[in-house]
Structures are given as C-alpha cells and as structure tokens.
Structure 1
C-alpha cells in the first residue's frame, strides 16, 4: 500500500509531547521514525507519567503509560546515550541516512554534543532539522524552559479560558504542545518540498509560545483591533449569542446559533417567537448588547426540557445543537466507529494482547494513514537499528 511519506526517515531526539506528536503524525503518514531514548533515564519521561499504565501478561506494570502511548506509535525505540562519544557517533550515522531531525532541547543544549543544527546541517546539508523549544531560538526568553502550562499562561490563552469571575484556566489537555507539534509537522513538510525542489536542507525553528499566540486567532486580532483586553466568557461566545452550553433537565447541551434566521427558529422551538421579533434581541449585535437579559430568559426555558427533547427539537429546525459527551460516550459512539477514531494495535506482551489508541483524523483516498507499529517498549529496536547501520556502512563505497 502506497503511503504519503514512504522512504522518509526521521531521527527523533524529542521527548514529552510536542515533538512526539509531530513525529507520530509523520510516522502515520508512512515515515520511518527512529525514536532516540536515554538509557540513563529509562527513556522518554512520559513512560513514567501515570497511572494509567498497560499491564503485562503477568499483571505487572509495563513502561507503556497512557501518556506515552498517545504520541509514540509507528516508531522504533533506540536506546542511545548522546552524552557519550559512542552515542554521538550513532546519531551522526543515523543523521547521514535521515531526511529529518527533530529535537526539543533548550536552545544550544545540543551544541556541547556536536548535535545542534549548525553541526548536523554542516555535516549533512540535505537534512531538515526542526528545533522545538519554549520560546524559540531567539529573543530574551530563549533560555527559559518550555512547558505547555507556561506557554498557555505566557501566550494568553489562559486569560481567555474559564468562567468570567473565576480563575484563569488552562485547557484540559496539553493543547499548546499538541498545536506546536502540528505546526512543526507543517513546517517540516514544507521544508521537505523545498528540499526536493532545490536539494537544500534547512533549520525549522518553532516555539510553544509562538504557536500558542498564533492560535489566539479571532480573540487575538480583536485585541489588536481595539487595543482592549479580552474577557473570559466561560462557555459563552464573545461575539455570538446564543452560542454556549445550556443546562437541561437531565444534563447539558450545546447550542450554536450562527445567524438571525437560526435564532428565529430557535425561538420557535422555545415557544417564544416574540424573542425573535423584539428589537432588543432580533439581531446578533442587539443580542450581544442585551446578552444578560436574553440568556436569563433562555436558561429558564431550557432547564425545563430534557436533553433529548432539545436535541430532537432543534435538529428538526436545523439549529446547530449537540450533546456534551463524556469520554466514555465519545468512544462508544457510532460516529467514532465509522471514522475509525478508536483503534486497537496488537502487542502480545501486554495483558489484553493489544493497546487501544486514538486514530488519526486524516482520511486520504489514495494513500491512507497506516498503523504499523504499536508504541514501543524502551529500547526494543536498538539492536535492529544498530545492525542496520552496520549493514549500511559495509555497503557504502570505500574511499
């Protein structure tokens, strides 16, 4: 089966989430990914970030934490100590065969090992070398450590998240890391396209904070346009009303009224067509101005109705509506099954014979993503990769 990135080899020096998110995506697209892990720490830090962990056949805990598994399928785990001359030599040998190197050390953190972008690009100018860091390779904060939580705070998304009178709130997953990994993937693919056209490799510099600022999108541009600080809206929308969660008699639903005609149909469902005719609420700017008064009326009407009644009634009127699902409801849904967003990958050395993972959302008509390797145990591919390097060296023309 043809794969989009067949033949691309990725040397992955990254850990935790942003880099591994990027390299897992490249692996899903067909690239071969060599994940370098430090023997001194028994591999990627996230192997210990649990529970939960997958148990082995004997019931004992393995090094496959849920956190590690979320971003490390389709990779070969190679145990190499880059602090040693022997380890550095292995990295250089792999870099000579690679198309992409990705790392997330502090700026200049790999220079002492001769594995920084200047050193590897100097030796292997065909490489795409991607550096992920907290604040980037330049600027006054370049030497500060980068963590998702710090990026969400520094980059402003926490000031927009949470209830209006509550504390600033981080997003429930490491979204700054994940989005940084997505931007890194785009940058790497663009650089590969340039390399294929010109033969030139290059350095891709991406920061958690930069990428988080980039996805402030409409709220960020609204601040730049007005010069005013934006306020937390909780589950409400800053510029559309009603567009939020509502409490029903037996749970919560989401209503996303995107225009005035949808609003009129929403009012018809509520049995209050007068709310669509009232000049105070008839247009979205008016509803923004009179948000508090309108929402108090709507909330009182919605809480008397069941979730199913709301879902059925608004869907019949073509008003955007949906449930607030738990994760159990998400992964048990027919939609998830139809879209293959839950996958199982066999491993005969775990208790249930397989690990369950989240599927890749990309759907290609000609070159579908593939799930070839389950998340590896630490170092399980070291011997195979080193033996392959020996074979490559033997096959190389002798000077």
Structure 2
C-alpha cells in the first residue's frame, strides 16, 4: 500500500491507471485525492512514440495537477513479461482505468472478459472518444473534435461569429468526472453482488450530456440553440454589462430576482413596463432592456454595482482574469489552490477537489511521481524478488 494516503475515504481500493492525456487522468485523480492507492502504469521511456504528450514534461503544472497522489510503475505491455506483471496486479486490484482505442484491449488480451476471469470483482473503466462500439468506435478523438460534434461550438461565441471553441477542455474533464461517478457506483453495487463490471464513458456522449438544457430544448420543444454571446438564451436580464471601470455579470433571472433588481436600482418603471412583464417578454425585448440597463451601469463602478445587487439578493459578480480569480477572498477561503512539496524539490501549486466531505475530505498528499519512481516498490509489494525485478529489466518489461 502507498506510504502516503490523501484521505481515508477510498484507501481500501487499489486502482491501476493505464490512461493518458486528460479525461482518464482526471477520473483517476478524483479517486486518488480521496485516498485510493493509484498506480499509474506507463511504458518505459522510448516505447510509446507519443510519450511527449503525456509523460515527458512531468514538472509542468498541468501534468502535476492531473497526476498528483499517484505512484508510477513503468511496464511494457507489449512484452509477455510486462503483460504478466499487469495481470498479476489486476488479480489484486479493484479498478482498472484505460483510454485506449477499443480494439487495443482485445489485442493485448486485457479486455473485460479476460480480466474478469482473472478477478471477477474487478471494475474496468474504459474511456474513449466515441464509445466502445458503433461506426465511429475506432476513430481517434480529442476534446475539440467533441466540442464540434457535440454541439458546444455551435452555441459558443457571439451571434454570427461562427463556431467557437470553449476555453477549457469541457469534453475531457466532464468525461473524467462521469467515469469516476460510474466507477464509484460500480464499487457500491459490488458490495451487494460481489461482482465487478465494465464501465464505459465517451467524450462524445459526455459532451452531449453537458449540453443539458440546450439539447433538451431542441429535443422537446424544437428550439434550435444558437450563439447568444454573453446573453443567456432563455433568461433576461442575464449577461455581461459594462460599468465605468470594467465589466461584470448580472443574473437577474426569474420573477423574484427581476423584482429585487428593479427595486435595488429604483427602476419601478421597468417592473411595470408591459414589454418586461414576463421572462419570455424580457427575452423577446432583450435589446431594449439591455440598452437601458447598460446606460445606467455606466454611471458607477463594478464594485458598487456588484455590492448593491448582491445586498439586494440579485446575483452579480466581476469578470476576473485567472490571476485576479486566485486573489479573490472567497476563492482563498475555499482553498481552491494549495502548494505541495515536490519530489524534485521545491513546490507545485495545484487545484484542490471542489467537493468537500466533512469527515474524510480529499487532500493532496504528494505531487505527481517521477517516471517509474515506484516501480521496485510496487513489484516488491506484488511478491517479486530482487532477482525477478532484474530479469524484468533485462527483458525490457520495466
């Protein structure tokens, strides 16, 4: 078991992490932060031609943030010896996470049915671009491809601007979270059945799920979502406004917020205006309403309007750059980022888990491991002797 555990919540579980890039590591990071013994299994240097994408720059903030709280074992699954080591580890593991193309598992003989014969309690989580079956199953897939195919780019940006990529990896990150939820659900179900199962998550399906109310509007009402810029597609007034010294977001959606908004600004004429009598009418007449609101907001500063509206119970907030975000007092109070000593020396500052458990919270016990840093430690735990480990090295299995 690991020398350091981030939390007692999941420390009884062992996870073998075969995943790369973002969606898989995001999934496994969640388990690691809550204390699971995560073994990141990586090819030895020089085996994978794409290793620069996911393994080489281990000191980068991105790699450190994705792979903290994990141990690293180098293992060449293309060798019989490496594959045998993996199967021995799988026999005693609870979860395996991979994001290979669907056919790779079968070719290596580590598909779910093969692993199930080794360990009937094992949960295999497979993350892919398009799913484990279907006409696109073997296609490669990255986040931006899914943003385009999953509809997100069609609703992002200013009206008439053309498709715009969201500024973060929505498909990757959401797939990682959905996969983690699936794994935890399977672990809970296993307590009754005693059996593991195969968990699937795909970037395409996750991106569609993240479209949420936009997709549901189309499916049920025939309302095709389009680019609305900084305005909300179905609520008004709700969007981005200019003050004297900058910009801020306003969220006066719903009748209660609308009435409080009008009262806070002493604009009872808006509340009684027949063109603004309902949310639907305020959306239909958004251009006129936004013009009048904007003219008023230019008379004061961001801090004034945000304080005035929040004091009245109306959601409003400034628009931060990333450095400004981390300086906000509430962000500091939430401890959204914290520093951790690194194995290379010095520290890395990482983003903490946004979900809090009062009694067994997540933590960051260690930064991301060195390449193969724990290989000998893990193999010794698995029952290999020093001579066995040396033979594995000679066979280029580790």
2:371 is the counterpart of 1:387: no
Q: Say which SS state the counterpart of residue 72 (structure 2) adopts.
A: strand
Give 1:46-65 correspondences, 5 Å limit.
Answer: 46-48=54-56, 63-65=58-60
Equivalent residue for 2:390?
none
Q: CA deviation at 1:95?
A: 0.4
Q: TM-score, normalised by structure 1?
A: 0.90
Higher mean alpha-carbon deviation, 230-239 vs 110-119, is at: 110-119
Q: Unmatched 5+ residue regions in structure 1? A: 49-61, 394-399
Equivalent residue for 1:375?
368
Higher mean alpha-carbon deviation, 293-302 vs 239-248, is at: 293-302
Listed one character per residue, the Cα deviations across residues 209-245 of structure 1 (whole Å, up to 9, x for unaligned) are 1111112111111001122421111111111101111
CA contact 1:38–1:44 (8 Å) conserved in 2: no
CA contact 2:33–2:353 (8 Å) conserved in 1: yes
CA contact 1:135–1:210 (8 Å) conserved in 2: yes
Query: CA RMSD of the aligned region, Å?
Result: 2.0
Listed one character per residue, the Cα deviations across residues 325-357 of structure 1 (whole Å, up to 9, x for unaligned) are 11112212222222221111112523xx11100
- How has the CA–CA distance of structure 1 residues 245 and 392 changed in structure 2, closer, same or farther, with 3 Å as cutoff? farther
CA contact 2:61–2:348 (8 Å) conserved in 1: no
2:27 is the counterpart of 1:22: yes
- How has the CA–CA distance of structure 1 residues 348 and 356 changed in structure 2, closer, same or farther, with 3 Å as cutoff? same
Query: Alignment partner for residue 219 of structure 1, among 210, 214, 217?
Result: 214
Query: Alignment partner for residue 9 of structure 2, among 4, 10, 29?
Result: 4
Q: Unmatched 5+ residue regions in structure 2? A: 387-398
Equivalent residue for 1:57?
none
Q: CA deviation at 1:184?
A: 0.4
CA contact 2:92–2:119 (8 Å) conserved in 1: no
Query: Alignment partner for residue 166 of structure 2, among 168, 171, 177?
Result: 171
Higher mean alpha-carbon deviation, 115-124 vs 132-141, is at: 115-124
Equivalent residue for 2:393?
none
Higher mean alpha-carbon deviation, 341-350 vs 287-296, is at: 341-350
2:143 is the counterpart of 1:161: no
Equivalent residue for 1:139?
134
Listed one character per residue, the Cα deviations across residues 292-327 of structure 1 (whole Å, up to 9, x for unaligned) are 121122122223321112112212322111111111
Q: CA deviation at 1:164?
A: 1.1
Equivalent residue for 1:186?
181
Query: Alignment partner for residue 296 of structure 1, among 277, 291, 296?
Result: 291
Equivalent residue for 1:355?
348
CA contact 1:47–1:64 (8 Å) conserved in 2: no
Q: CA deviation at 1:112?
A: 1.7
CA contact 2:352–2:363 (8 Å) conserved in 1: no
User: d(CA) in 1 for partners of 2:77 and 2:169?
Assistant: 27
Q: TM-score, normalised by structure 2?
A: 0.90
Query: Alignment partner for residue 45 of structure 1, among 26, 30, 53?
Result: 53
Equivalent residue for 2:358?
365
Listed one character per residue, the Cα deviations across residues 224-278 of structure 1 (whole Å, up to 9, x for unaligned) are 1122421111111111101111111211111101222322332344443211111
Q: CA deviation at 1:47?
A: 3.9
User: d(CA) in 2 for partners of 1:17 and 1:212?
Assistant: 14
- How has the CA–CA distance of structure 1 residues 85 and 391 changed in structure 2, closer, same or farther, with 3 Å as cutoff? closer
Q: CA deviation at 1:375?
A: 1.0
2:91 is the counterpart of 1:96: yes
Give 1:255-334 correspondences, 5 Å limit.
Answer: 255-334=250-329
